[in-house]
Structures are given as structure tokens and as C-alpha cells.
Structure 1
């Protein structure tokens, strides 16, 4: 048995916008607090991270605090690329606001201009996830993004990953942890133990 903790990065410093591949940072103090809480509440020996700075900076802090941790950067765990809307403040969208509304109502049918389609994003995320599960034999922390965590849950629970409700109504808060358990001996069988918990709500060292 191995535990995999899916952690969404902390709240970014940018103005309200769709942040996909835009490399926006998290305040240094927030990263430090998250690192301290992760150390206090979770037990793991490997860190896997999206390369975007809002994730990788926290991963690097954790490794600096504990030299026994291994670190792997996986580009396929990046958030969805939102194309022409990526990183644009909501208040500056203008007529593109209608495009965003259509995408929100049906992301599978209304892809964003020059953005990644939902199907490509899903396939990318699940390809990386299946590879991670196959090669996981030790407790692992994956620092990634809300969209990635949602598609992993949809895949694991055999939910409809095309449904807009998955992205609109499933709350995956910044800094939250989703706990999955895998059994490598049983062809990567995965069980969902908890979804979107705040670090403050987790008992210390739940991996022990």
C-alpha cells in the first residue's frame, strides 16, 4: 500500500484570472506556512510537482527542509492551457467574457481560443497519473493544480469528466489535500480516502 497526497498549490498573488500555464507565483510567506503545515501533518518520502512556480517553489522548500526527500518535476501535471484567456484579468476580458461563459457552461463543446481542449487536457493528466500510480511504491506528495486533481478524481471514480459540474461544483481549495491510496500489487488499485481537506483538518502524520 502507498499513499498519494494530491495537494493544490496556495493562492496565487495575481489578480483574479484564469491561470493555466501563466507562471504566476504564490507569496513567499504563504509558501513557508504551507511547507510547515505539510511537514507537520503528512508523511511521505517523495515529492512530485508541476513545473509551474506556484507548485515547484513549495516542492523545493520541502526538499530543502528534508534532504531525504526525492523530487521529480512532471510537466504533464501542469494546469490546463487556457489559450488567449490565460492570465488575462477577468475585468479586462471584454467581449471574451462571453467566450469564457460558454466555456464554463460546456468546456467540452466550447474550447477557448488557441487553448488546450478539455479532451487533450484530460488525456495528458491521466497519462501522467497512470504513470505515477504504476511507479509508486512509497508515500508520495503530488503538488499540482485544481483542474488536474479534478480529472484524476473523475478517472478514479469513473465520473463523467466532460460534465461542467465537475469543474464548477467540486471544491478543491488552494492548499487543500486530497488523499488517495494505491495497491501496486493489485494492478494499481486506487481508493479515495478524502477530498479537498484543509491541512488544519488533517490529523498529524496520516501516512503513518
Structure 2
């Protein structure tokens, strides 16, 4: 069985270097990325589709053109919750929330962003879902976000230490394959 992870296409917030809002839309490039991803996706099979609550994953699903398979929304595949930083430019937020950034950089795993979450909380929610999916033994497509894809890989390797060493491109496909009682990273960041 496969856990097929697709990062949404490029968004308006991605190109503006903004901590993304829940409602940010795909750019024209983001739409093209998803059409390209749809071509690659044809070589894989799955029986279930999960997306996050955010508009960019709904749009990405539309451009993938998946038919005949219902999708469900699962909050556990929502992007890392940046809390008070949502909608702020990365540079501007560092100025405005200097103390928050200092605390976050000093302990990125445990520090809970105001009105947001910690990396630990993200990894825990994704790890629970990862284990459920492995136990269900059903190939699934998940349209999600960079932080969530990195969290799935941390769950696979059973370590938080790789989280900041990974980056998923917009529209990329990563696959965790589970067979014969063993899971492995089968593909990473395929575009």
C-alpha cells in the first residue's frame, strides 16, 4: 500500500513570502504544476483521497482531475499552524514579533506559536494519522502541505531530526510504501 503525498501547487502567498492564509489561491504556475502532477499521478493507484481544510488543496484536487473517487477533509493534514504569523510577510513578522521568533528559533520543537501550534504538536497529529493509514492497509492520496509531508517522513523514520532538512516543492509527489510489514520512502519530491 502507498501513502501518496502531494504538495499543493504554488500559491499567491508562496510567491509573496507570506505565512500562508487558509484562503490563499493557486497562481497560474500553481495550476500548471498540478496539471503536470496529474500526468505523473496516472502511474499510481489509490482508493481514497484526503485533503486539508485549506482552499489551495481543494483547488489542487480540482486541477488533478481525479474522478470516481470521493475525497474527505482531514484537519490532521492541515499545514503547520503559524498562529499570529498567518498572513504576515516573513520579513515583517520577524520585526513585529521579534520575541516570538527568538523563542521559536531557540526551541522550534516545543515552542507553541501564539494562537498556533508547536512542531511537536504537528508531528504528533500526523504520526497518529500515519499509523492509522498503515493499519488500514489501503493506498491513499493526500493533497497537503510542505510541513505535513515533512512530518509524515519524520513519522516514517521515527525521528524529528529530519524535519528541517527536508523541503517539498509545489506540486511534488512523495510516496511512503508499506509492504510485507515494512515501510520505506519510495519517492521523494517527484515533479
Task: Tell whether the structures are fold-level matches, with TM greater than 0.5.
Answer: yes
Q: CA deviation at 1:13?
A: 0.3
Partner of 2:76: 76
Other structure's SS at 1:196 match? strand
Please show how residues 14-163 of structure 1 align to structure 2 within 5 Å. 14=13, 15-19=16-20, 22-27=22-27, 29-42=28-41, 43-45=44-46, 46-62=48-64, 65-93=65-93, 94-138=95-139, 140-159=140-159, 161=160, 163=161
Partner of 1:190: 183
TM-score (norm 2): 0.83
Q: Separation in 1 of the partners of 2:66 and 2:122? A: 33
Other structure's SS at 2:168 match? coil
Contact 2:35 2:63 in 1 (8 A): no
Runs of 4+ in 1 over 6 A off after TM superposition: none
Task: Name structure 2 gaps, 5 residues minimum.
Answer: none
1:177 aligns with 2:173: yes
Deviations 1:134-165 (A, max 9, x none): 33423x32111111111111111122x1x4x6
Cα pair distance change 1:9/1:104, threshold 3 Å? farther
Deviations 1:38-73 (A, max 9, x none): 2321223432211211112111333xx342233222
Contact 2:173 2:188 in 1 (8 A): yes
Cα pair distance change 1:31/1:135, threshold 3 Å? farther
Contact 1:47 1:59 in 2 (8 A): no
Cα RMSD, aligned residues only:
2.3
Q: Separation in 1 of the partners of 2:24 and 2:137? A: 29
TM-score (norm 1): 0.77
How many residues in Structure 1 have an aligned counterpart in Structure 2?
185
